[in-house]
Structure 1
Amino acid sequence: MENTEVGEYLADSKGMTLYYFENDEPKKSNCSGECLGNWPAFFAKDFNVPYGFDKKDFGTITREDINAKQVTYKGYPLYYFAKDQQEGDVNGQGVKDAWYIIAKDTEFEK
């Protein structure tokens, strides 16, 4: 998908925006309980990687808290934002200075 404010970004097959949590660690989610209610985990068994992204950058973890799978990008778990209601919504960008959209040029600090 593309947005004038954030440029090209990662979304699921229905156009729902995908985010990462700055407080996560590679292959480990630090979002659980109420957090997970606001930021549902993204999982898809088979998915096409959009142009500009590399398939090898995607993986899967099994969450310890709910024993469910979650897709990762460069090791970081991917999430939806509960307040995104329709295709193209990017309401989660920058929330609490910890939630960000995944773009082609996203770099992780850790």
Structure 2
Amino acid sequence: MRTRAVLLAAVTSLSLFSLAACGGGDEKKSEDSAAGKPVGAKKVAVKVADTELGKILVDQAGRTLYGFTKDKEGVSACSESCIAVWPALTAEGKPTAGDGTESDLFNMVKRAEGAQQVAYKEWPLYYYAGDAVPGDLNGQGLDEEWFAVAPDGSLVKSPAS
């Protein structure tokens, strides 16, 4: 039941996001959002936040970053239909290592469509479309494949309360 409700929220959020991305006529912004890149984001920062899961990685705005258990050896297994719900954290160059992160654990992974995805240790990093505001953890544990990433680069497998 939780998965269905979260999926409905994700589809609704994604629909609203798509409508917003269609306006304005800025082709570059549309390309960025289609590639999972936060619109206008060239450089990103990743930091650690204290949450109900403990310390996890978040972006500069405080949005939760997730790892996908199907990703192997730093290669993303999240393709077109997956990336629509789990947008990749992409950037031009390595992100700024914020408080609590280790700069040597960051690397970049080239996605099939050419975007550079930020990875931490072995995990390419993603957002969840069902997370509406910074601090949301709605993607935690979904399908037993998606988990927040800890500062040591491991996946946090405890459930969100």
Common topology (TM > 0.5): yes
Q: Which has the larger radius of gyration?
A: 2
From 43, 56, 66, the counterpart of 1:9? 56
1:100 corresponds to which residue? 147
- Counterpart of 1:78 (choices 108, 111, 125) is 125
Please identify which structure carries the higher helix content: 2
Q: Specify the SS of the correspondent of 1:71.
A: strand
- Offset of 1:34 from its aligned partner? 1.0
State which of 84, 96, 99 in structure 2 corresponds to 1:48. Answer: 96
Structure 1: which 5+ residue stretches go unaligned? none
Q: TM-score, normalised by structure 1?
A: 0.87
Say whether residues 1:87 and 2:148 are aligned partners.
no
Q: TM-score, normalised by structure 2?
A: 0.61
> In structure 2, what is the Cα distance between the partners aligned to 1:103 and 1:44?
20
* Residue aligned with 2:117, SS: strand
Match for residue 61 of structure 1?
A: 109
Distance 2:116 2:95 in 1: 14
Counterpart code for 1:35: C
SS of 1:9's partner is strand
Taking the aligned partners of 1:48 and 1:67, their CA distance within structure 2 comes to 21
Aligned with 2:147: secondary structure? strand
Q: Please, what is the CA RMSD of the aligned residues?
A: 1.5
1:35-70, CA deviations, whole angstroms, 9 ceiling, x for partnerless residues?
A: 110000002335332333210000001112x11110
Q: How much does 1:13 deviate?
A: 0.4
Give the conservation status (yes or no) of the 8 Å contact 2:67–2:147: yes
Q: Deviations over 1:49-99 (max 9, x none)?
A: 2333210000001112x1111000113210000001111011111000000
Higher relative contact order (CA 8 A, sep 6+): 1
Structure 2 gap ranges (5+):
1-48, 156-161
Number of residues paired by the alignment?
A: 106
SS of the counterpart of 1:20? strand
